[in-house]
Structure 1
Amino acid sequence: MQLLSSTTRSRNLSHLASEHFDVLVIGGGVTGAGVALDAAARGYSVALVEKNDFASGTSSKSTKLVHGGIRYLPNFDFALVHEALVERGLLLQNAPYLVTPVEFVLPIYKGDRHPVGMPFTTPGGVGLSLLLDIGLWMYDLMSGGRGVKFHRHLSREKVLNLAPALVQTNLKEGFTYYDAQTNDARLTMALIRTASRYGATITNYSEVTSFVKENGKVTGAIVRDRFSEEEYTVRARHIVNAAGVFSGLVEDLTGMDSQVSIEPSKGVHLVLRREDLQLGETAIVLPETEDKRILFVVPWGSRAVFGTTDTGRGDLDHPTVTQDDISYLLKYLNMYMNVNLSEQDIISTYAGYRPLVKPRNKNASTAKLSRSHVVLESTSGLVTITGGKLTTYRRMAQDTVDVLSRRDGMKPLHPTEALPLQGSAGWSSVRHSIEKRGQALGLSKHIIDHLGASYGTVAQEVLEIIEQDATLAAPLIDDLPYIKAEVVYACRYEMAMTPGDVLAHRTSIELEDKQRGLGVINEVAALMSKELGWSENQQEPLSAAYRDAIEFQLAAEKKR
């Protein structure tokens, strides 16, 4: 069993300073993790550093979808949709426990003029249903044989059978189509652990503060451990900037003119109870908004994720949900669904920034900026990967490492196309034994299903922890499936260093709990303290930091 513990982290920090790597990756989100895995799988020696925790930025703030992007079809962005649909198929193949198909219902109402964000309309809306049908056929076929199921036209009655809470007035008909969903933070963690298995040296809370340059080229980086404040010099032949919305700031450290041209776009989501929405296993597309966006209501365990917005930038380190964001989302939720929900019904909110590729027209709306990714080579030698979306992370990583391969005069190989992620190999055969083992330990079906969907075959490592200490089978929160053993597991195997790492990025307690984890912060910190050997002086500041972050977010939501 491979450990990614605090001890491993300390050893990796020392390793950063002692080895000359082939590739240094800056950024521990899904893109950086993907680059590290791709490079390591091709035989490169790889280091990855992340200034905060893995998946602490955009990679834990998505709509939790692995999809082609149906809303890009009306803008004729066929290349992006095709690429994303192919990648969706590869993820369903390579991470079957983490990425699962989901059915979407798209209702059509009388008076709709721009469903799914169509930039044009027809006189009186005549023929829009036919156009949507054609578009969905394109969506099905562009998957290149890696589709889930073909879309279907639905009568009004069948739409309501699948989504009974939809407003019935003026409902004409609808469609159903298929995409997939994932746990974005768990996907990032699976990539981190897989890259580590292939030999990558990985550390979190390790911030690049400057670059080492020789003859005008970057040959290394100064990395500061944010816990000890020690600095390490990391040498590498190739340095990849995969810092997402922070890519421009990283490139500025080279002292060269920035090649990065991105515009951060804030996406906001609400987390709600599924029963409040009468939501089954089928997701719902709210077809039309005044600003020509579409909104998704997606089942998420006992909760539902609803979003997203597409607005301009703010504090990149602290993306916040404002009162205007909440009002915008609730307006359309209550417009299309017979629920009449208010702010009091919201479990939690979250916001993240997408790194959109910026056009020359400075006045362009962020809703119209490209989600396509670009790989840029600076005159300093720094390689920057930016743009893209969660679904296309693997292709983004592949294109980035192809640049390094060509630099080295090597023919690019693409091993990640058929590389199972951590927890995926043998999942179909191991799944049943995990269920039996969990039942023998007295775990509920709800918890067993959660462990399988979060960890795959390595759920066995969580079960081993419970076998060693039966008290760790206890749930952390009564109506959620997370158990104490996962806190211990996160410390031993996933480099969790703070209570916030566990509550926000190893589990989804921060999103799914009405108290956002504040009610169990002391319990989580105590478990971590025992595992990591914290003193009382270390434990309290880490707990306080999480409380402060949540209270800052709640205060921002209350501002008008």
Structure 2
Amino acid sequence: MQPLSARERASNLNELAHNTFDILVIGGGVTGAGVALDAVARGYSVALVEKADFASGTSSKSTKLVHGGIRYLPNFDISLVHEALVERGLLLQNAPFLVSPVAFVLPIYEGDKHPVGMPFTTPKGIGLNRLLDAGLWMYDGLAGRRNISRHHHISRQEVLERAPTLVSEGLKEGFIYYDGQTNDARLTMAVLHTAVRSGALIANYTEVTGFEKANNRITGAIVHDVIGDQQFTVRARHIVNATGVFSEQVESLAEETPELLVEPSKGVHLVLSREQLQLGDDAIVLPETEDKRILFIVPWESRAIYGTTDTGTGDLNHPTASQDDISYLLKYLNRYLTVSISEDDIISTYAGYRPLVKPRQKNASTAKLSRTHAVIESPSGLVTITGGKLTTYRRMAQDMLDLINRRDSVKPVHPTESLPLQGSAAWPLTQHELQRRGTRLGLSSNIIQHLGGAYGSNATIIMDLVEHDPGLGLRLIDDLPYIKAEVIYACRYEMAMKPADILSRRTSIVLEDRERGQGVVDEVTHLMAQELNWPSSEQQQLTQTYLSQIQNQVTAEKHQI
């Protein structure tokens, strides 16, 4: 396992400033990570810079699903669904420790007219179940040989057995269908690690502030090291803008007129107690909303993730759930469940922006925004990849590299289709070994399961740390499976530079803990300080910064309308 510590970051910054690369990727979310991986896999020299932390934007704010997007079928977005289902299958193959199948219970109620967000209906909703069945057959068929399992019809009784807190009044029957689940931030780290293993140089907290040009062509990016407060230029033959909802801002730095309009759409999620919802291993699809959205309740270790909304824009750097967003989600939760859930029951909320795209030309259709991705080449040579969704990150990267191959008059190859991500080695054989070793070290079963699911075969390194110092096997928070050794691992192998990097992205503590990490930030910062040689004054400052950020977020949720 290649180290990725503050020392490697400093070394990388030096390399970035003094070398010329084939490709510079701007953006350290899952799309940028995917582009970096595909590029090194095709033999290019690659650099990647990210203005904040890796996966700190949309790539840690999703519903944590790897799915085809069942709600796009009624809109006849067949190609989009097919592409996503193929990618779902490849992720299950290439990252088996990180992506797992999950069954979805889809209940059908008397009087439903727009289940799964169907834009059309039938008189009095008669025959909708047959239409849904046909749609689910299509969903299975579009996945082809990579389908997880066929959907099937279930009785009213089985719906209530699988989802006992669903309202029984008016419930007629249901369906079970299958999709995948992942940890989005961990997936991004796995993709980045795989790229680094093949030679990519990456750095977080490195913001592009401008471009260098020669003969009206971009030759380099001016980069500000946010942590070291220094500026340097990274030169590359091809520069890729993979910044999602910030794509237009980066294009404007190049004095470009964007060809696409990126319209951010905010998705809000609530994190709730799985026990309180009596949620088993199956996810639940809430059948109908007035605005024809689709809402999921998805099991997430001891928690449940519930969402999502599709609302307007706001501060792109600090998306928050407004009172309206929270009220909207609670309204439907309490309509369809027998347990009463109030704001006091919410463990945490989170929000992220999807980069939905539409053409800028006035004569183009803007009737609906699309999740379909777009690769755009500007006159100055900057190439922008935007749109898409978590599930299709690999295909987006592949399309980007195909364009760069054509620029270089090279025949495109697609190596990432069968490239296992870092941590997948000999899985599930390694999984059994982790279980045996973890038990020997005295780790509880849910800690062992968590380590395997988050790190794959790299969990052996964390167990090495525990073996050397048993105190590192202690939990950070009593009712969550995260242990102290993960903090050390994040500093040494995942370029964690600030407490929020660990609490919000290397782990999901900020989502799963009712205090959002405030009670443990002192301990995390202390462990990081030992690794990163922080003086006590810097420890205190970083702790206070984290606490202020969390308190500002909570305040914004309570007062934003």
- The reply to whether TM is greater than 0.5 is yes
Q: Measured at CA, do residues 272 and 419 of structure 1 come closer, stay the same or move farther in structure 2, by a change above 3 Å?
A: same
Structure-2-length-normalised TM-score: 0.98
Partner of 1:499: 499
Which ranges of structure 2 fall in alignment gaps of 5 or more residues?
A: none
Give matches, 1:167-206, under 5 Å: 167-206=167-206
> Any conservation in 2 of the 1:310–1:366 contact (CA below 8 Å)?
no
SS at match of 1:542: helix
- Matched residue type, 1:310: D
Distance in structure 2 (CA, Å) of the matches to 1:530 and 1:322: 38
Structure 1 residue identity aligned to 2:204: N
Deviation by residue 1:460-502 (Cα, 9 ceiling, x = unmatched)? 0101111111110000000000000000000000000000000
The alpha-carbon deviation at position 259 of structure 1 amounts to: 2.5
Q: In the alignment, residue 431 of structure 1 is paired with which amino acid?
A: Q
Residues 1:154 and 2:143 are matched in the alignment: no
1:244 to partner: Cα distance: 0.5
Where does structure 1 differ by over 4 angstroms across 4 or more consecutive aligned residues? 359-362, 364-368
- Identify the residue that residue 381 of structure 2 maps to in structure 1: 381
Question: Considering only aligned residues, what root-mean-square deviation do their CA atoms show, in Å?
Answer: 1.4
Partner of 1:135: 135
Does 2:108 align with 1:108?
yes
Matches within 5 A, 1:398-437: 398-437=398-437
Query: Residue 201 of structure 1: CA displacement?
Result: 0.4
Do the aligned partners of 1:104 and 1:177 also contact (CA within 8 Å) in 2? yes
**Secondary structure of the structure 2 residue equivalent to 1:97:** coil
Q: Measure the CA separation in 2 of the matches of 1:545 and 1:361.
A: 43
- Give the whole-Å Cα distance in 2 for the aligned partners of 1:287 and 1:5: 46
Which residue matches 1:81? 81
> What CA deviation, in whole Å up to 9, does each residue of 1:260-304 have, x standing for no partner?
311000000000000111100000000110100010000000000
Corresponding pairs, count: 559
Partner of 1:524: 524
Contact 1:279 1:299 in 2 (8 A): yes
CA distance in 2, matches of 1:295, 1:111: 18
Kindly report which structure 2 residues correspond to 1:19-34, keeping only aligned pairs within 5 A, or say none: 19-34=19-34
Answer whether contact 2:259 2:359 (CA < 8 A) is retained.
Answer: no
| 2-structure distance, mates of 1:360, 1:458 | 45
Cα distance in structure 2, aligned partners of 1:556 and 1:533: 34
**CA spacing shift, 1:450–1:305, aligned 2, 3 Å:** same
> For the residues of structure 2 that align with 1:12 and 1:387, how far apart are their CA atoms?
29
What CA distance in whole angstroms lies between the structure 1 residues aligned with 2:262 and 2:434? 44
Distance 1:117 1:359, change over 3 A: farther
Aligned mates of 1:368, 1:145 — CA distance in 2: 31
1:280 aligns to 2:280 (yes or no): yes
Distance in 2 (alpha carbons) for counterparts of 1:197 and 1:428: 21
Structure 1 residue 358 displacement after superposition? 2.3
Counterpart amino acid of 2:388?
G
Residue in structure 2 matched with residue 303 of structure 1 by the alignment: 303
Question: How far did residue 359 of structure 1 move?
Answer: 4.9
2:54 matched residue in structure 1: 54
Q: Distance in 2 between matches of 1:259 and 1:529?
A: 46
User: Structure 1's 321 and 159: CA in aligned 2 closer, same or farther, altered over 3 A?
Assistant: same
Partner Cα separation in structure 1 for residue 305 and residue 19 of structure 2: 44
**Partner deviation per Cα, 1:364-422 (whole Å, 9 max, x = no partner):** 99994200000000001000000000000000000001110000000001000000001
Q: Tell me, in whole angstroms, the C-alpha distance in 2 between the residues paired with 1:434 and 1:190.
A: 18
**Deviation per residue, 1:235-263 (Å, 9 max, x gap):** 00000000010010001011122233110
How far, CA to CA, are the matches of 2:342 and 2:512 in structure 1?
A: 17
Partner of 2:266: 266
Between 1:139-148 and 1:533-542, the stretch displaced more is 533-542
- Tell me the CA shift for residue 544 of structure 1: 1.6
The CA distance in 2 between the partners of 1:23 and 1:357, in whole Å, is 24
Render the CA deviation track for 1:495-552: whole Å, top value 9, x for unaligned: 0000000000000000000000000000000000011100122212222221111111
CA distance in 2, matches of 1:367, 1:142: 26
Specify whether residues 500 and 365 from structure 1 end up closer, same or farther in structure 2 by C-alpha distance, changes over 3 A only.
Answer: farther
**Structure 1 unmatched runs, 5+:** none
The alignment partner of 1:74 has SS state of: coil
Seen in structure 2, the aligned counterparts of structure 1 residues 174 and 359 have a Cα distance that, compared at 3 Å, is: farther
Query: Could you tell me which amino acid in structure 1 is paired with residue 462 of structure 2?
Result: V
Q: Kindly provide the amino acid, as one letter, of the partner of residue 232 in structure 1.
A: F
Instruction: Give the match for residue 293 of structure 1.
Output: 293
Partner of 1:552: 552
2:238 maps to: 238
Q: Would the aligned equivalents of 2:438 and 2:448 in 1 still touch at CA under 8 Å?
A: yes
Q: CA deviation at 1:138?
A: 0.1
Question: 1:427, 1:113 → 2: CA distance?
Answer: 44
Partner residue in 2 for 1:63: 63
Contact map agreement 2:25 2:32 (CA 8 A) in 1: yes
TM-aligned CA deviation for residue 360 of structure 1: 5.7
CA contact (8 A) 2:56 2:505 kept: yes
Whole-angstrom CA distance in 1 between matches of 2:546 and 2:326: 23
Aligned to 2:395: 395
Aligned AA for 1:422? Q
Equivalent-residue separation in structure 2 for 1:292 and 1:526 (angstroms): 48
Sequence identity of aligned pairs in percent? Answer: 68
> 1:18 and 2:10 equivalent?
no
